[in-house]
Structure 1
Amino acid sequence: MKLFPYGHATHPQWRMAAGLVLAQLRAQMTLPDYAAEPRLALVYITDHYAHEAQALLDHLRQELPEVTDWTGTVGVGIAVNNAEYFDEPALAVMLCNVPPAHYRVFSGVSPLPAHWADAALVHADPATLDLAELIDEMAARTRQGYLFGGLTSSRTRSVQFAISADQPQSLVAGGVFEGGLSGVAFSSQVNLLSRVTQGCQPIAPEREITEVDQHLVLKLNGEAALDVLLDELNINLSEPQKAIPVVRSTLVGLSPSGQSGVGRTGNLGNDVLVRHIVGLDPARQGVAVAEHLELGMRLTFCRRDVHAARADLVRVCAEIREELEPEMLSIQAISALSDDPVPTLPQGGQRIAGAVYVSCTGRGGLHFGGPSAELQIIRHALGDVPLVGFFAAGEIARNHLYGYTGVLTVFTAD
């Protein structure tokens, strides 16, 4: 599998941005290390172009007739190798060199057959009813139960792209949708590595939920949940002006029953779902959480933390590097890359042909220390590899909907 051609640009006029992107794609497709005839395209736009989404897609398809299948969505920001475009008109396209027999574009008008694929890249409208159930159902349609992707984020239209020449029924809508789920599924012949990186740090010990009423935590380890929260945060409801801002900045990390969500290093694990505290119930001594809760779940109070987010992002990149080159690169060795601005993988083993990164809208930019800092960390760790993605209103990994996380997925080849 050769490298995936990709391009990105910003311009107030979408036609000018598209022209710049097309020039980059065509130039790369002439290079020996890049794929010359890919058929699958991932396209991400910022919401500045959302109202022109259909015209933009039509233009790209006309200019690249050899590319028959398209999928993607819109975000308030989009991600590319070493840079992010936030709150500005921008476009990114990556052409994936995957054999047509081993992927399938799906949408509401062209559903994914059950158990055909091993994994799927999913884009979803956050306004869709019963979204968590739909994501779980979609994961069940894959053999590995693995999804990766995110929820559209837009201040205008929440558009998705999904069109395939092999599925004539999808042509009716022109390839631009609003609502529901869409994306592209991959067979077991497509090698993928995917990791979730958390953006929060625990600020209290993990406890078991021992009494619950739907969204309301009543007791933690047998103690009144509200008392535990106030004690851990060192606040008192008799001083609401001091207490309310502290509660608002506090989140909860949830893990399944019997499964610890805090690792040996004190960081949140991959399976932890971070949710907001949405209310306090002094009468019942409860804490309301934006998630349906079950008895026995593990809960820890946490806060967003830039240092934890940076360290965890480096960790997941290191894990991917180690899996690609297990004999040559350990996780600890990632620190040795600090003197190499654009490290490359050793010869042998596997290489990264392309990557997709979906990050939370609350993570980009200054949360990592400056503009594009998050993507620069990935570039520093993985090297100069083709990468596109977007900043989402919620991130999807496996059959879960996350918040304040990043989902990094790479396509690998020998």
Structure 2
Amino acid sequence: MKLFPYAHATHPQWRMAAGLVLAQLRAQLALPDYASTPTLALLYITDHYASAAQDILDHLSGELPEVTDWSGTVGVGIAANNVEYFDEPAMAVMLLGLPAHQYRVFSGVAPLGMAFEAHTALVHADGNTQDLSELVAEMAGRTDTGYLFGGLASSRGSTVQFATGGNGNIKGHGGARGVFHGGLSGVAFTQDVALSSRVTQGCQPIAPERSVTACEGNVVTALDGEPALQVLLGDLGVSLAEPREALGRVRATLAGLRSAPSEGDSVRRPGSFGPDVRVRHIIGLDPAREGVAIAETLEVGMRLSFCQRNAQAARADLVRVCAEIREELEPEDMPAEAALALSNNLAASAPHPARRMAGAIYVSCASRGGAHFGGPSAELQIVRHALGDVPLVGFFAGGEIARHHLYGYTGVLTVFTATD
């Protein structure tokens, strides 16, 4: 599998940005190490361009007629290799060099058919969709692995998704032209498309994990048999006798949830969250029941850890998942020339066949980004430094999707891999 051509640009006028993107793509399409005849494109735009979404898709697809399938969405920020665009008009495109029979674009009005055997799927979703968690779980159930990756569109204006295939319309779309609002859309992949995906957390537990021993709906009333509100206040070292201080600390606190552990669960690293933890907001206190209201329906047996956002922990975890992917993909035994190239500081960021990375998608929480990591584009610079110079696009989401769960304050990194 060859490298996926990709491009990104910012400009107040979308046509100028599109021109810059097209120039970059055409230059890469002519290079021997890049895919020359891709038919699938991912398109991400910032919300500055949301009102022109249909015009942008029409223009790009018209200029790249050989690309017959498009998928993507809008974000308050978008990402590319080593750079992120926040609060500015920008777009990013990646052309995936995959055979047409190995993927299928889908949307809410053209769901996956039974004839296509989906192994995994990239999913874009509208956070305002009713029963979204159930829809995500249902979509995961349509894949062999149950593994989804992607996120919720984020926008200060129109929330749009791109989904078009073949001659411009997917069967079932009717007169739709590829831009949609609401529901789910994305690309499903067969088992022939090899990829490696990881979830990186952005929060750190501030207290031991406890078991939910009593709850009503979304209100946990007991943790390890103790009143949940008292447990929370004790973990934070505050008292309702001083409500201003207590409420200030509670507002800065979140709840990390995971399902009841079962035999064979992986061992968690002390002081950190694993990929099975979903971080949710604390949305209220219930002194009458000594309960804590969480933004998710709870069940007895769930595990809960009170946590807070932590930039240092987020940085360390991001480096960890990138290192895991590199170690997974780079063979233990390789020619001396390849090993030398990968160990050379000057060449370490250059694409190399030994890395077996054709392209990557990174979906990060809209509350992360460079500002959280210390400076403009800092998060994507960490990814490049740890992963190498791989073609990458993505967006900053209103919620992240991995496996069959919705996450918050996380990043989901997925790398398309080539054969040995």
Q: Same fold (TM over 0.5)?
A: yes
- Amino acid paired to 1:273: R
2:269 & 2:171 partners in 1: Cα distance?
A: 51
TM-score (norm 2): 0.94
Structure 2 residue aligned with 1:164: 165
Alpha-carbon distance change, 268 to 326 in structure 1, aligned in 2, over 3 angstroms: farther
Structure 1 residue aligned with 2:235: 232
- Amino acid paired to 2:280: R
**Does residue 284 of structure 1 match 2:285?**
no
1:394 & 1:143 partners in 2: Cα distance?
A: 24
TM-score (norm 1): 0.95
Q: Is the 8 A contact 2:351 2:389 kept in 1?
A: no
Shift of 1:266: 2.0
Q: Is the 8 A contact 1:343 1:382 kept in 2?
A: no
Structure 1 residue aligned with 2:324: 319
Q: Is the 8 A contact 1:68 1:164 kept in 2?
A: yes
**Does residue 409 of structure 1 match 2:410?**
no
Shift of 1:342: 6.2
Q: Is the 8 A contact 1:18 1:60 kept in 2?
A: yes
| Identity between Structure 1 and Structure 2 (%) | 68
Q: Helix, strand or coil for the counterpart of 2:3?
A: coil
218, 221, 224: which one aligns with 1:221: 224
301, 308, 314: which one aligns with 1:296: 301
Alpha-carbon distance change, 345 to 17 in structure 1, aligned in 2, over 3 angstroms: closer
Q: Helix, strand or coil for the counterpart of 2:172?
A: helix
Q: Helix, strand or coil for the counterpart of 2:130?
A: coil
Q: Helix, strand or coil for the counterpart of 1:208?
A: strand
Q: Which blocks of at least 5 consecutive residues in structure 1 are unaligned?
A: 330-336
389, 392, 400: which one aligns with 1:395: 400
Structure 1 residue aligned with 2:127: 126
Equivalent residues in 2 for 1:162-311 (5 A)? 162-165=163-166, 167-170=170-173, 172-258=175-261, 263-311=268-316
Alpha-carbon distance change, 199 to 169 in structure 1, aligned in 2, over 3 angstroms: same
Structure 2 residue aligned with 1:334: none
Q: Which blocks of at least 5 consecutive residues in structure 2 are unaligned?
A: 335-341
Q: Is the 8 A contact 1:379 1:385 kept in 2?
A: yes
Q: Is the 8 A contact 1:261 1:272 kept in 2?
A: no
- Amino acid paired to 1:253: G
**Does residue 46 of structure 1 match 2:49?**
no
1:322 & 1:28 partners in 2: Cα distance?
A: 27
**Does residue 365 of structure 1 match 2:370?**
yes
2:373 & 2:249 partners in 1: Cα distance?
A: 22
1:265 & 1:206 partners in 2: Cα distance?
A: 11
Shift of 1:345: 8.4
- Amino acid paired to 2:234: D
* Superimposed CA distance per residue, residues 299-355 of structure 1 (whole angstroms, 9 cap, x where no aligned partner): 0110000000000000000110011025269xxxxxxx9993762589775510000
Equivalent residues in 2 for 1:321-340 (5 A)? 321-327=326-332, 340=345
Structure 2 residue aligned with 1:99: 99
- Amino acid paired to 1:163: T
Q: Is the 8 A contact 2:46 2:89 kept in 1?
A: yes
- Amino acid paired to 2:253: T
* Superimposed CA distance per residue, residues 341-378 of structure 1 (whole angstroms, 9 cap, x where no aligned partner): 76258977551000000000011121011110100011
Shift of 1:168: 3.9
- Amino acid paired to 2:394: G
Shift of 1:113: 2.2
- Amino acid paired to 1:65: P
Q: Helix, strand or coil for the counterpart of 1:52?
A: helix
